[in-house]
Structure 1
Amino acid sequence: MSNPIFTPAQLAAEADVRAMRADPRGEPVRAQIAKYFEIGYGSRLPDEMRPMLGELADEFLTNWFFKAAASDSQHPRLVRNFMPAHDWHGTSVPGARTGGDNPDNCYRLAGIEHGTRYRLSGRTIGRRPANISFALANNFGTSQTVALLEDHDLLWEEDGSFVIEIDDRPKAGRTNHLQTSPGNKFLFVRDSMMDWASETPLDLTIERMGEAKAPPIDRDDMFARAIHHALRDVFQYFWFQNMVSSIVLNEILPARSLASTGVGLSTQGTSSGHFRLDADDAFILTWDPAGAGYAAVELTDWLYRSLDYQHIQSSQTAAQSHVDNDGFIRTVIARRDPGVWNWLDTGGYANVLMILRWQAMQSGGRPIFASLHRTTIDGLRGELPPETRWVNEQERAAQLAGRVSAYQRRIM
């Protein structure tokens, strides 16, 4: 399999990010970001998280370096972001996780400007991701979605290819079209993969149509954009985290659609939770995949960054989970291995946040649903249904080895 992310544009953007990270002017900005979060959380910040504030600030700022590297709207390039730190093709890529980043997503950004025309060309490589969205975002925080297309909305050619036109003109019968509006900053692409071992992000290229209105931005321009927007967006991302950490402890919110919230992916359904676990606690999360094209659950640390999902089972999609006879998935959240296939590992943390996501939901299908029950690890045998899939040490090791191998497809 050829990796569609391994492109000259991606490697050049990563080189730009490494250069910006090495700029000494970034150090006081990281310290300022860490201080903002520390002051904002105050005494609510769990002791186990306090040493992680510097790492949070570093990944947060790195995320904005990646966005700045993708932000040149007159010379657009698609840039992958929100990844954990990794090595590939002889280079080291720093971590850029923040804001409840999804382990199942390949996130890509390209600069977009109202009044400029673009052509996005794509094709399928192997098995298509479970859900793909193409959004126009009006802020560097990528939370303000103002136009959206999903893969099921597109007209595809028989060979698995498509072209999307992006411009300021009305749709006028064009199915594969996104209309820009004043303030547009990015095209934001999410390839959501249910089966890591077989689904592959789309091969995408973007080009500006017509003459450029400005020369390419240089690294100083990128650095200035990153610093400016990172310091502005700290407060929004603090708010994102507080939406979840303000949930009553050891409870979850009812499943709901994001359509009316004005943030995130507007066609997504979610449920969230906030947990503090003792060593022997076990929470049974019962949820209905509801026939959605994509459905998954993940844990984040208390600072709302994905856990090290490339090493531990801190997330599971519906395709990775055992489904019970009633069609529900029962996922066990615990700090130590409870011996069930559907285990979400907290990475040793006592304080974690949870996000359930449903995408590509069926019209007229079953409503999304999630519930929570607290028990102990020893009490699970009496609480879970007879068809629960239990695992021993060897089976767990094989499950995790398969997960690590499937993840490696992203960085090969």
Structure 2
Amino acid sequence: MANPIATPDQFAAEADVRAMRSDPRSDAVRNQIAKYFEIGYGSRLPEEMRPMLGDLADEFLTNWFFKSAASDSQHPRLVRDFMPAHEWHGTSVPGARTGGDNPDNCYRLAGIEHGTHYRLTGRAVGRKPANISFTLANNFGTSQTVAILEDHQLAWKDDGTFVIEIDDLPKGERENHLLTAPGNKFLFIRDSMMDWGVETPFELTIERLTPAKALPIDRDEMFARATRHALRDVFQYFWFQNMVSSIAVNTIAPARPLASSGVGMSTQGTSSGHFHLGPDDAAILTWDPAGAGYAAVELTDWLYRSLNYQNIQSSLTAAQAHIDDDGLVRTVIARRDPGVWNWLDTGGYANVLMILRWQAMQPEGRPIFASVLMTTLDDLRGQLPPQTRWISEREREEQLAGRRAAYQRRIT
């Protein structure tokens, strides 16, 4: 099976990103981004996070380099973004995690402009992801969704493909359509995978159907776009992080839909939490998958970047987790191994943030729900139900080995 991400456009975009990162002008931009975050967080910044500000700024700017490499709306190409640093096809790809990036997602972008007509063609490769969303975003931060279409809404052709038309005209008789609006910047695609070992992102191609209005942009223009928008978007991403870190320590916000928030994936339900854990502390997070097509939880560092999920179990989907007899998932957030299957590893950090997500929610399904109970590792057995799945050190090694192998499919 060919990897649907391993395309000439992806490799070309990665080369563009490496070139922009090596541009001598990028150092000053990274330093400015780090300074903005340092000033903004002030004394609230945990000391364990202070040495990570440089890494945050580096991945933040790299994320915008990837977006800029995908931003040419007159010569669109699909580009994967938000990945941790990795090696594939003989090259190094720098990390680009930021803004509560989801470990289960393959994020792809392509430049879109209001007034231009596009065709996106796709097909499933093996088992499809649990949920796929196609959104039009009005900013480089990809937070302003103006239109959305999900895989369960698609009309498929007899040959196993689908076509989505993207333009500024009414849908009419067309089956799959996204209506652009003034200010559109990107088509933003999320392939959300519940089972990393078997689910594969869609194979996708995009083409412009109307005459080009300009020549392809060069790397100087990419660099200018990336640095300009990265410096502007620092403040919004600082606000995103503060929405979570302002939650009272060792508590979570009630589960709710995002439809009324005006940011993020509008059809998604979420709950977030903020934790400060001692070496022996444990948080029992209980949540209901609620029959959603996709449901998962992840931890991020205090700076709102995913942890090294390719190596540690800092996230769990409903498919990866043990579900108790009552239909609920009980995960244990702790700095050291509590001996339960559903451990969320903080990577040794005392300060972490948490995000629960529900997608493809059933209209008549159970309401989304989450709660948290603070306890200690010594008291866990008295707090967890009898059907809890406890595991040995060997079983943990096997669990993590399976996780690493499943992640490796993405970069093979």
Shorter chain as denominator, the TM-score bin is over 0.9
Which whole-Å CA distance do the structure 2 matches of 1:27 and 1:388 have between them? 49
Which structure 2 residues correspond to residues 6-21 of structure 1 after superposition, within 5 A?
A: 6-21=6-21
Amino acid at match of 2:344: L
Which whole-Å CA distance do the structure 2 matches of 1:280 and 1:161 have between them? 52
SS state at 2:146 partner: strand
Which whole-Å CA distance do the structure 1 matches of 2:210 and 2:295 have between them? 40
Matched, 1:123 2:140: no
Matched residue, 1:75? 75
Matched residue, 1:371? 371
Which whole-Å CA distance do the structure 1 matches of 2:99 and 2:371 have between them? 24
Matched residue, 1:85? 85
The worse-fitting range, judged by mean Cα deviation, of 73-82 and 206-215 is 206-215
Which whole-Å CA distance do the structure 2 matches of 1:209 and 1:173 have between them? 18
Shift of 1:159: 3.8
Matched residue, 1:183? 183
Shift of 1:160: 2.8
Shift of 1:175: 2.6
Matched residue, 1:273? 273
Amino acid at match of 2:307: L
Which whole-Å CA distance do the structure 2 matches of 1:305 and 1:157 have between them? 39
Which structure 2 residues correspond to residues 5-404 of structure 1 after superposition, within 5 A?
A: 5-404=5-404
SS state at 2:367 partner: coil
Which whole-Å CA distance do the structure 2 matches of 1:359 and 1:170 have between them? 27
Which whole-Å CA distance do the structure 2 matches of 1:402 and 1:157 have between them? 35
Which whole-Å CA distance do the structure 2 matches of 1:131 and 1:160 have between them? 17
Shift of 1:288: 0.2
Which whole-Å CA distance do the structure 2 matches of 1:252 and 1:98 have between them? 21
Amino acid at match of 1:408: Q
User: 1:342-399: CA deviations, max 9, x gaps?
Assistant: 0000000000000000000001110000000011111111111111000000000000
User: 1:104-152: CA deviations, max 9, x gaps?
Assistant: 0000000000000000000000000000000000000000000000001
Which whole-Å CA distance do the structure 1 matches of 2:323 and 2:105 have between them? 22
Which whole-Å CA distance do the structure 2 matches of 1:157 and 1:151 have between them? 13
Shift of 1:158: 3.8
Which whole-Å CA distance do the structure 2 matches of 1:210 and 1:175 have between them? 20
Matched residue, 1:411? 411
SS state at 2:42 partner: helix
Amino acid at match of 1:241: Q
Which whole-Å CA distance do the structure 2 matches of 1:274 and 1:157 have between them? 45
User: 1:147-205: CA deviations, max 9, x gaps?
Assistant: 00000111012443100000100111323000111000000000000000000000000
Which whole-Å CA distance do the structure 2 matches of 1:407 and 1:387 have between them? 28
Which whole-Å CA distance do the structure 1 matches of 2:236 and 2:105 have between them? 21
Amino acid at match of 2:139: N
8 Å Cα contact 1:123/1:202 also seen in 2: yes
Which whole-Å CA distance do the structure 2 matches of 1:105 and 1:32 have between them? 29
SS state at 1:40 partner: helix
Which whole-Å CA distance do the structure 1 matches of 2:158 and 2:103 have between them? 30
Amino acid at match of 1:37: F
Amino acid at match of 2:13: A
Which whole-Å CA distance do the structure 1 matches of 2:305 and 2:358 have between them? 19
User: 1:325-345: CA deviations, max 9, x gaps?
Assistant: 000000000000000000000
The worse-fitting range, judged by mean Cα deviation, of 265-274 and 153-162 is 153-162
Which whole-Å CA distance do the structure 1 matches of 2:172 and 2:162 have between them? 18
Amino acid at match of 1:268: Q
Amino acid at match of 1:285: L
8 Å Cα contact 1:153/1:175 also seen in 2: no
Quote the sequence identity (%). 81
Shift of 1:314: 0.2
Which whole-Å CA distance do the structure 2 matches of 1:318 and 1:68 have between them? 34
Q: Unmatched 5+ residue regions in structure 2? A: none
SS state at 1:295 partner: strand
User: 1:253-299: CA deviations, max 9, x gaps?
Assistant: 00000000000000000000000000000100000000000000000
Which whole-Å CA distance do the structure 2 matches of 1:303 and 1:27 have between them? 20
Shift of 1:211: 1.5
Which whole-Å CA distance do the structure 2 matches of 1:16 and 1:226 have between them? 12
Which whole-Å CA distance do the structure 2 matches of 1:334 and 1:361 have between them? 29
Which whole-Å CA distance do the structure 1 matches of 2:395 and 2:158 have between them? 41
Q: Unmatched 5+ residue regions in structure 1? A: none
SS state at 1:286 partner: strand
SS state at 2:107 partner: strand
Which whole-Å CA distance do the structure 2 matches of 1:377 and 1:219 have between them? 52
Which whole-Å CA distance do the structure 1 matches of 2:166 and 2:220 have between them? 28
SS state at 1:379 partner: helix
Which whole-Å CA distance do the structure 1 matches of 2:357 and 2:383 have between them? 25
8 Å Cα contact 1:137/1:143 also seen in 2: yes
